Structure 1
Amino acid sequence: MRVKLHLNLNNVRLRNKMLVLYIFSVFLPIVLTNVIFYNVTTVNVKNQRMKDFSRAVDQINNEFRSEVEDAVTISSVFYTDYNLNQILETDYQEPAEYIEAYDTYFRRILNSYTPVYTSIQNIKIYVENPTMLHSGGIGFLSDEIKQTDWYRLLQEKHNTYPIFIRTQQEDLYLKSEENVSRNTFSIIREMNYYESKKQWKKFLKIDLKTSTIEQIFRNQNLQGSIYLVNDKGEIEFTTDPAVDWRKDSIRYDSLEFPSDAIAFQAEYNYVSYMDNWRIIASISEEEVLKEVRQSREFVFVLACLNIFIPTLIILWITRSLNVRLVEILKHMKKVKNQHFDTIKQEEYSDEIGQLTSEFNRMTVQVKSLIDDVYIADIQTKSLELERRKAQLNALQSQINPHFLFNALETIRMRSLIKDETETAKIIQNMAKIFRNSLTWGKDRVMVSEEVEFIVCFLEIQKYRFEDRMEYHIHIDPSAKQCMMPKMMFLPFVENASIHGIEPLRNGGKIEVRVEREEDELIFSIRDNGIGMDEEKVKQFYGYLESEEEIGERIGVQNVIYRLKLIYGGRFQLLIESMPGEGTFIRVRVPVE
């Protein structure tokens, strides 16, 4: 499958390759990145807004509960006040006696709470004692009062705890309840803490300011409707303008909400006077995602810029490559027909520019040779020379893609797995090898250059294997300046790394040595990898005797074939290997 894909890519024109590269490396990643970014941002903003709304509901819940608890605290003070109880239980012979008691104590405690607790609208005590004057915070427990909702509820509960209920204003008790709006919340409590002989019934009623409650519920952080629901599921207060909470008793579950409405709820538990009461906020999803909707256009514009700018750059670079390569190809076809025209264009310093310069130089030299030497002699010698050069270049073209593919695959896999700072160094090593592979006219390199390429390759492999691979290179100083065929020993190093060390679970070690003995260069490599069996070793030695064409073979067989073309029988190859014991390879070639 890999070979098929490789051949298919080789048959695709450069312009189409760049188009595929653009689609899969620029366009699709940018589109996917922006889509994912928008979706992730939407989810994050929604979650944050949900938390903000939930905190706002909790804030309303706590503030409202605090106001109610203030009223309950005041009721407890009145409930346990012995002197107040005595005033309410006393039979007054004359109104003056009551007025004196009222002015002496009751008026003072009654007026001491209202200014401090700004949420308190009114404090009133309803009594049956007929000797008291019913004014200034004292009211008569009349039949009309006994018909009110709060009085009947107190009679049903029969406990000493206060109750919290929605009531109407004091001046509206005498009117028909059908025409009266219940627009006040009150704390009601029977004052039966102290026993007395007469046991006059006494009830404390503390009204809360509706304006304070509305201020609490109209939270600026909630752009929706808020409902205060009692233990029966009825709405006691709401900011929804469509619900008349003052007159109607509407159940919360009878309301219809939009399909995208989101409900936030806070409950009052473990509070006897508000047990199972709830505060519910209903907010549309559009309100939750309003900030994301506002930034949608910005994300779209940013995505367009991210696509447009790289597209222009890639088109610019692609045109620079394609136009010059097509020009070189056109002149090469002319050379094929013995038209030795040079490429007339400005010299550039990139690889294609260097290739153009080398092509012009080669064209001029070939034309000069043709003009200076007899045609017959040129035909005889150049055929053999070109055949060998074509074979060598073909062999190198087989080695380089194979090696570059493995190296690039290594970088790609590691980059996907882990973001490392070593990537820059690996790319630099790859650039060296790639630049060397493009230098077609240079068949010989110094030993030091070949070792440099080997180091680059081993650094890439060490980046791939991390601590699983170690290597050591020793080069004889006297051998550094010697010339040798390019990439003669690199495939052996690659073979030791890929086929020897990679299968090992714990990795291994590679040792490379380059020495000079008189007129011979000795290249040796030793690894402690999985080794080879005897049949595999015989197969490598068989390449020394084989005379078949190399075809598309790569790797060690390629190197052996090149050595045979260059040195004939003047080189030696030694391979020692056993399964599980590693491999040792030594190559001897004449010094050039």
Structure 2
Amino acid sequence: MKLRKISFHNVKLSNKLLIMYFFAVFIPIVLTNITFYHVTIENVKKQQMQDSKLALQQITNNFGRIVDEAVGISSSLYTNSNINSFLEKDFITDIDYIDDYNTYIRTFNQSSPINPSINSIRFFTDNPTMIYSGGVYLITKEIKQLEWYKQVSLGRTTGPIMIHSPASIDSRTFAVIRKLDYFNFNNKEKIVRIEINPANIKQIFENVTFKGDLFLLNDEGEIEYSTKKGLNWLKKPLKYNQISYPDNTVTINTKIKDRTYLHNWKVVGAISEKTMLETVNDSGRFIILLACINLLLPTVIIIIIARSFLMRLHRVLKHVKRMKNQDFEIIDGQEFKDEIGQLTIEYNRMSKKIKELIHDVFLANIQKKDLEIKRNRAQLSALQSQINPHFLFNALETIRMRSVIKQEMETANIIHNMAKIFRNSLTWGKDMVTVQAEVKLINSFLEIQKYRFGDKLDYKINVDDVALDRWIPNMSFLPFIENASIHGIEPLADDGKITINISLNNGLLTCIVMDNGAGMTIDKRNQLLSSLEKEEEIGENVGIKNVFYRLKLYYGNQFDFELESKENKGTKITIKVPEKLKGKFVATEDREKKLYFIK
């Protein structure tokens, strides 16, 4: 078997353009934008991670700075001999205490710069000769039971100790506590407690660009402060590793370095990838929008250019194909200067030359042949008129059966419907039919029209059950449906619809035929209604006039006909006839119904 050689020249021009567009425009643009999108996403992710680390480092530095300020103040008090002497002195009178208090404690507070990060400075001593007020407190039994006192009193180091303490029910602050034992005259126990302003702590952890949850952890991994809502870290110790996060959570941590009093303390940040990628998603949407623009603009330009020559090329090809049927119609329209325009000009010139040649050389022979053909057609028509119509029905039935055998059911169904319509139109002895038989004929006709028009036509038939067995003249409604299909729906481009409603109310059989087709002007409607009243003139609309006259003959003044139509809006025809004629039906042996009028 010889393989057929594949050639690109056998591909349609429209398909060639589609291939060129797909491989030269669509795929490169899509791949470029996908690559650009992934590169941008990765860069934004890295930038977001770097920004989060910088924000966390800023929190760590700011917290360490506040603690350093409190430690610095504790160091100055630790080496202040005047304050240490004041706390060691045994006062004989209250006046002596007040004078020394104003001299050392009050003077120290006034001379020291105001630091907004420090909430309070408190001195604790077991000196019984002092008046305990104004920041000086007695070390009572209750204080000795507190955890911070035990840490200071039992501590082996002279350095400051960092502890947390409740600022309120819903918040916590931190305090730097130091034992004042620098000098040798340590006859009494002296402790200074410097509390950090909780508002500054809150501002450090909440007024940052970090978009996740923050945790301040001590050397044992317990949460000392957190911005995460719903945690019970204020009321009882809670370790960070007891908190569960989704798998897509990114954790960042920084240690507070170079501080012995904050040894192994660190700040941990937990942020979900979804939150981190909010900026990435915004960038992604922008990239997608840019990609759509980059794809849409070339697509529109290519479509416009392709339509510019494909439509004209198809028009030339259509006229060339007509030549085989001796149709040498000239291509109308503006003459253009591109290659297709030159091809159109040359085609018109060739068509004119062929017409002249046919007219000059073959006209006489054609006239002679035409007379001979007409004579043969007359003989053929005479012969055909003698053929029994049943031959046509048998031929159609044969074609239908062969279609069924080949499983071409749609073709078989259409041929079957055509046969039923032909048989009905040629069987003139059957004057009266039931509404049900008429509806079947209408349905057969509409199925043929549906096969012809495709999706352009849609129809719906609504019939009351009580009306199905009523008798009417044969083909009373079908011509109106045919008129709606041909004159109403056929001019439309799409979305054509025909609706038939047949009902029985108060002894009247009503048929309403509606379409959304081309309709007619008021003048044309009035002209049609006027022509129906002139029975001696048939002229145009033979089918409608014929059925109109037949119904009027059967029913006389009891027949009602209404026509409503608007141009480009559709047409509505209403036919009303009595439920029964003034007569009776008698069944004959061949089961046909004949009508006998009662005078």
| TM norm structure 1 | 0.53
Partner of 2:242: 254
| Pick aligned residue for 1:226 from 189, 214, 222 | 214
The alpha carbon displacement at 1:134 in A equals 2.5
Decide whether aligned partners of structure 1 residues 142 and 314 sit closer, same or farther in structure 2, where only a CA change above 3 A counts.
same
What is the one-letter code of the residue matched to 2:84? N
**1:159-189 deviations in Å (ceiling 9; x for gaps):** 12212110246xx9xxxxxxx8883310011
Letter in 2 for 1:124: R
Q: How far does residue 346 in structure 1 lie from its aligned partner after superposition?
A: 3.7
**Separation (CA, whole Å) in 2 of partners of 1:316 and 1:232:** 72
Distance verdict in 2 for CA 1:202–1:319, change over 3 Å: same
Partner of 2:139: 141
Q: 3-state DSSP class of the match of 1:205?
A: strand
Alignment of 1:548-567 (within 5 A): none
Offset at residue 215 of structure 1 (A)? 1.8
**Number of the residue aligned with 1:278:** 266
How has the CA–CA distance of structure 1 residues 239 and 338 changed in structure 2, closer, same or farther, with 3 Å as cutoff?
Answer: closer
Pick closer, same or farther for the CA change 1:109–1:7 going to 2, 3 Å. same
Q: What residue in structure 2 maps to residue 188 of structure 1?
A: 177
Please state how far the C-alpha of 1:84 moved relative to its aligned partner: 1.6
Pick aligned residue for 1:288 from 235, 258, 276: 276
Q: Residue 110 of structure 1 contacts residue 137 of structure 1 at CA under 8 Å; is this kept in 2?
A: no
- Cα distance in 1 for partners of 2:171, 2:209 equals 28
**Counterparts of residues 461-480 of structure 1 (less than 5 Å):** none
Shift of residue 14 of structure 1?
1.4
> Where do 5+ consecutive residues of structure 2 fail to align?
358-599
Q: 1:348 to 1:157 in 2, by over 3 A?
A: farther
Over the residues paired in the alignment, what is the CA RMSD in angstroms?
3.9
Hey, what's the Cα distance between the residues in 1 that align with 2:231 and 2:322?
91
Contact 1:265 / 1:279 at 8 angstroms: preserved in 2?
A: yes
* Amino acid in the other structure paired with 1:154: V
Question: What residue in structure 1 maps to residue 420 of structure 2?
Answer: none
Tell me, yes or no, if the aligned pair for 2:41 and 2:284 is still in contact at 8 Å: no
Match of 2:151 in 1: 153
How much has 1:354 moved relative to structure 2? Answer: 4.6
Structure 1 residues 480-506: Cα deviation after superposition (integer angstroms, max 9, x where no partner)? xxxxxxxxxxxxxxxxxxxxxxxxxxx
Q: 2: CA distance between counterparts of 1:101 and 1:340?
A: 127
* Distance in structure 2 (CA, Å) of the matches to 1:123 and 1:220: 28
- What is the alpha-carbon distance in structure 1 between the residues aligned to residue 18 and residue 299 of structure 2? 10
Shift of 1:320: 2.7
8 Å contact from structure 1 (residues 233, 251) kept in 2: yes
Q: What does residue 64 of structure 1 align with? A: 63
1:328-360 deviations in Å (ceiling 9; x for gaps) = 667888999999998766432334435556777
Structure 1: distance between partners of 2:281 and 2:207: 23
1:286-343 deviation per Cα after TM superposition (whole angstroms, max 9, x unaligned) = 2222234456666555554544443333233223333444566678889999999987
After the TM superposition, which residues 125-524 of structure 1 pair with which residues of structure 2 at under 5 Å, given as runs? 125-168=123-166, 183-196=172-185, 198-294=186-282, 303-326=291-314, 346-354=334-342
Counterpart code for 2:197: K
Instruction: Provide the C-alpha distance between the structure 2 equivalents of 1:87 and 1:339, rounded to a whole number of angstroms.
Output: 127
Supply the distance in 2 between the matched residues of 1:44 and 1:223 (Cα, whole angstroms): 19
User: 230-239 or 81-90, which moves further after superposition?
Assistant: 81-90
Verify the 8 A CA contact 1:227 1:237 in the aligned structure 2.
yes
Contact 2:251/2:270 (8 A) holds in 1: yes
Using the alignment, how far apart are the partners of 2:85 and 2:42 within structure 1? 64
**Post-superposition shift, 1:221?**
2.2
**Distance in 2 between residues matched to 1:213 and 1:289, nearest whole Å:** 28
Structure 1 CA distance, aligned partners of 2:298 and 2:99?
A: 93
Count of aligned pairs between the two proteins: 358
Secondary structure of 1:183's partner? strand
Aligned partners of 2:322, 2:103: CA distance in 1, in Å? Answer: 125
Cα shift readout 1:180-219 (whole Å, capped 9, x = no counterpart): 88833100111122222x4422211101111221122112
CA distance in 1, matches of 2:170, 2:157: 28
The reply on whether 1:87 has 2:75 as its aligned counterpart is no
After TM superposition, the structure 1 stretch with the greater mean CA deviation from structure 2, 9-18 or 31-40, is 31-40
For 2:172, give the aligned amino acid: N
Q: Which residue number in structure 2 is paired with residue 117 of structure 1?
A: 115
Whether the aligned pair in 2 keeps the contact of 1:162 and 1:189 (CA below 8 Å) is yes
Pair 1:7–1:362, CA change in 2 (3 A): farther
CA distance in 1, matches of 2:332, 2:234: 94
CA contact (8 A) 1:46 1:288 kept: yes
Deviations 1:375-411 (A, max 9, x none): xxxxxxxxxxxxxxxxxxxxxxxxxxxxxxxxxxxxx
Q: What's the CA shift for 1:72?
A: 1.0
Tell me, in whole angstroms, the C-alpha distance in 1 between the residues paired with 2:159 and 2:31. 62
User: Map of 1:524-563 to 2, 5 A cutoff?
Assistant: none
| 2:405 alignment counterpart | none
Q: 1:38-96 deviations in whole A, cap 9, x for unaligned?
A: 43443333333333332222222222222111111111111111222222222333333
**CA distance in structure 2 between the aligned counterparts of 1:366 and 1:107, rounded to whole angstroms:** 124
CA 1:255–1:339 in 2, change beyond 3 Å: closer, same or farther?
A: closer
Distance 1:44 1:72 in 2: 42
Q: Retained in 1: the 8 A contact 2:123–2:136?
A: yes
Matching residue of 1:385: none
User: CA 1:105–1:157 in 2, change beyond 3 Å: closer, same or farther?
Assistant: closer
Task: Return 117-126 or 260-269, whichever deviates more.
Answer: 260-269
For residues 138 and 33 of structure 2, the distance between their equivalents in structure 1, rounded to whole angstroms, comes to 73
- Confirm whether residue 98 of structure 1 aligns to residue 97 of structure 2: yes
CA distance in 2, matches of 1:345, 1:353: 10
Cα deviation digits, residues 118-149 of structure 1 (max 9, x gap): 12111112223333332222222233222222
1:224 positional shift: 2.7
* Paired residue secondary structure (2:244): coil
CA offsets 1:404-457 (integer angstroms, 9 cap, x no match):
xxxxxxxxxxxxxxxxxxxxxxxxxxxxxxxxxxxxxxxxxxxxxxxxxxxxxx
d(CA) in 1 for partners of 2:69, 2:266: 19
Contact 1:110 1:123 in 2 (8 A): no
C-alpha distance in 2, partners of 1:330/1:104? 115
TM-superposition CA deviations, 1:217-267 (whole Å, max 9, x none): 112523332111111100001122212332211001101123322223221
Between the two proteins, what is the percent identity of the paired residues? 40
TM-score (norm 2): 0.52
For residues 202 and 181 of structure 1, the distance between their equivalents in structure 2, rounded to whole angstroms, comes to: 31
CA 1:360–1:161: 2 relative to 1, 3 Å: same
Q: 1:268: how far off?
A: 0.3
Question: Residues 146 and 152 of structure 1 are in contact (CA less than 8 Å); yes or no, is this contact kept in structure 2?
Answer: yes
Are 1:74 and 2:62 matched, yes or no?
A: no
Q: Is the 8 A contact 1:78 1:84 kept in 2?
A: yes
Q: Which amino acid aligns with 2:309?
A: L
Pair 154,182 (structure 1): closer, same or farther in 2 beyond 3 Å: farther
- Check whether the contact 2:173–2:201 (CA below 8 A) recurs between aligned residues: no
Letter in 2 for 1:96: I
Distance 1:81 1:306 in 2: 74
